[in-house]
Amino acid sequence: MNKQSLIIDCDPGVDDAVALMLAFGSPALDLLAITTVGGNAPLAKTTRNARMLRQIAGRQDVPVHAGADRPLRRKPAGAGEFHGEEGLGFMTPFAPTRPVADGHGVDAIISAVNARPPGTVALALLGPLTNLALALRREPLLARRLGAVAVMGGARSEGGNITPSAEFNIWADPEAADEVLRSECRVTMFSLDVTHQVRATEARIAAIGAVGTPKGDVAAAMMTFSQTVEREIVGWPSLSGWGPPVHDPCPVAWVLKPELFTLKPCKIAVETQSELTRGHTSVEFRVDAATAPHLWAATVDADGVFDLIVKAAG
């Protein structure tokens, strides 16, 4: 099997946890490293959580490197109300057996990319973009050596989820997002516009839980927690077939099965000046497809994403 080399940068986080279970259970991926960033919870917790999830999934072979504990310029901001105090919903933390790997997450990204042929290492970013921004500063040629850069972040037609005009990952570190989007990285962005099409309905959660494995149990538990939160905070119409959006598996699902998504060439800019619209992603679709710097995920086969999660849980 021709494996895709992948680094996942994340802030686990309940939906990060589902994305990691998807990645850990997908043999088509050569998971080079997990790098962590402060975001949904402080760095110490997101790093511990990544190590816990790795252990539960039986993937102690994948190193976890701790990255940035704060944004480039802004104060650290959490999202505990959506992920629980410890960052993994109702899960009780435990001390993972394998320690965090030596070396900062930023250096781990740079060395993994530089050690392989240009364009062969993909990067999925599921939290604030601080680590990639720092890596691009430290290694200016990184953008040309990286393969696909898949970002969960941003919003256009769906509006924001941390403020009316911004999505959390971009809002948390807008300067980092700005530097990444101005770089030569060809970013493919999976915004709320597409992740809101991927909803954890009762039936989908039940199908994952029915696999009966630790990976399936964790993924189902995380989405059940999101259901609880969604009902309490956002208010949940009692429509059958409704459920909380599951954001972070989308970039990983795209790396695994790109045909599940349709993408639109574009140019994305980020608001960094205004406090009112901090982190807003302004998306210009009137671009030349051949030279457009970015891609915007517009539609997704949500059933196909959940099929991948069920398969990976096995």
Residues of the shown chain interacting with Ca ion in the complex, contacts defined by CB under 5 A: 11, 13, 16, 126-127, 248
Enter the tokens of residue 160. Answer: 């924001």
Task: For residues 270 and 181, give the distance between their C-alpha atoms in angstroms, rounded to a whole number.
Answer: 8
Nearer to ligand RIB, 39 or 67 (CB): 39
Closest distance between ligand RIB and the C-beta of residue 13, in Å?
Answer: 4
Q: DSSP readout, 56-83? A: HTT-TTS-EEE--SS-SSSPP---HHHH
Nearer to ligand RIB, 127 or 139 (CB): 127
Residue ranges in contact with ligand RIB by CB under 6 A? 11, 13, 15-16, 39-40, 79, 126-127, 152, 161, 167-169, 247-248
Which does residue 38 touch among Ca ion, ligand RIB, none (CB within 5 to 8 A, set by kind)? Answer: none
Which does residue 79 touch among ligand RIB, Ca ion, none (CB within 5 to 8 A, set by kind)? Answer: ligand RIB
Task: For residues 243 and 224, give the distance between their C-alpha atoms in angstroms, rounded to a whole number.
Answer: 9
Closest distance between Ca ion and the C-beta of residue 209, in Å?
Answer: 22
Nearer to Ca ion, 32 or 79 (CB): 79
**End-to-end CA separation in angstroms for the chain:** 19
Nearest alpha carbon to residue 27 among 48, 53, 1:
1
Q: Which of 65, 104, 196, 247 is catalytic?
A: 247
Pairing outcome for strands 149-152 and 281-284? unpaired
Residue 208 φ/ψ, nearest 5 degrees: -70, -40
Task: Cite the DSSP H helix spans in 84-154.
Answer: 105-114, 130-138, 142-145
Q: How many CA atoms lie within 13 A of 143 on its CB side?
A: 16
Nearer to ligand RIB, 51 or 247 (CB): 247
Closest distance between ligand RIB and the C-beta of residue 224, in Å?
Answer: 16
Closest distance between ligand RIB and the C-beta of residue 116, in Å?
Answer: 26
Which does residue 167 touch among Ca ion, ligand RIB, none (CB within 5 to 8 A, set by kind)? Answer: ligand RIB
Closest distance between ligand RIB and the C-beta of residue 191, in Å?
Answer: 9
Which does residue 161 touch among Ca ion, ligand RIB, none (CB within 5 to 8 A, set by kind)? Answer: ligand RIB
In the annotation, is 294 catalytic? no
Task: For residues 25 and 311, give the distance between their C-alpha atoms in angstroms, rounded to a whole number.
Answer: 8
Which does residue 178 touch among ligand RIB, Ca ion, none (CB within 5 to 8 A, set by kind)? Answer: none
Nearer to Ca ion, 50 or 122 (CB): 50
DSSP state of 163: B
Whether 150 contacts 261, CB under 8 Å:
no
Q: What distance lies between CA 245 and its chain's CA centroid? A: 13
Q: Which amino acid is at 279?
A: G
Which amino acids are annotated catalytic?
Answer: 247
